[in-house]
């Protein structure tokens, strides 16, 4: 090896390693439960079963304490979403928005009454149905969730 080649190879390796560390994650970013507040209602995010996350096209990560809070935020602000995740109600995993269905839940952090499950689960409503329920509740209509 010539003496000028080794520094160039080291520089190329350093750039490659640094670039690999900057790649975006495929899933949601970690949430600091009981320390981080909801991007919509500003309450602390405490219950992982109801957490939700939106990543904008600009790369901003917004965390929510209730699926309904994420839905209301989108209805009011119309952010350009690159990815949306809902935490599974009963399992320790996240669901991409396209994989999520919503079931009625008696108590949720902000009272929207919906929890995320796999879209094909028994009794699961579509995202569009869940958004309509949230919109109706926000307007003051007490739509029941059978």
Q: What pTM was estimated for this model as a whole?
A: 0.80
Does the pLDDT of residue 8 top 60, yes or no?
A: no
E-assigned strands of the chain?
Answer: 52-56, 61-64, 81-87, 94-96, 100-104, 114-118
Is the residue at 145 inside a domain? Answer: no
Residue 84: exposure state from Cβ atoms within 10 A (0-12, 13-18, ≥19)? buried
Q: What are phi and psi of 11, to 5 degrees?
A: -65, -45
Pairing verdict, β 114-118 and 81-87: unpaired
Query: Is 146 part of a structural domain of the chain?
Result: no
Q: Which two tokens stand for residue 64?
A: 């929510």
- What total number of domains does the chain contain? 1
Q: What is the pLDDT of residues 74-94, one digit of tens each?
A: 999 999 999 999 999 999 999
Query: Residue 125 sits in which domain range?
Result: 5-138
């Amino acid at each position: 090896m010539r003496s000028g080649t080794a520094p160039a190879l080291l520089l190329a390796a350093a750039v490659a390693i640094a670039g690999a560390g900057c790649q975006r994650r495929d899933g949601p970013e970690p949430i600091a439960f009981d320390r981080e507040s909801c991007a919509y209602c500003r309450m602390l995010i405490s219950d992982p079963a109801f957490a939700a996350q939106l990543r904008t096209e600009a790369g901003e990560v917004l965390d929510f304490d209730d699926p309904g809070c994420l839905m209301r935020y989108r209805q009011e602000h119309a952010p350009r979403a690159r990815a949306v995740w809902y935490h599974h109600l009963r399992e320790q995993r996240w669901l991409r928005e396209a994989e999520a269905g919503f079931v009625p839940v008696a108590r949720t952090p902000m009272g929207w009454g919906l929890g995320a499950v796999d879209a094909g689960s028994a009794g699961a409503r579509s995202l569009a149905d869940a958004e309509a329920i949230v919109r109706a509740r926000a307007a003051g209509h007490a739509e029941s969730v059978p």
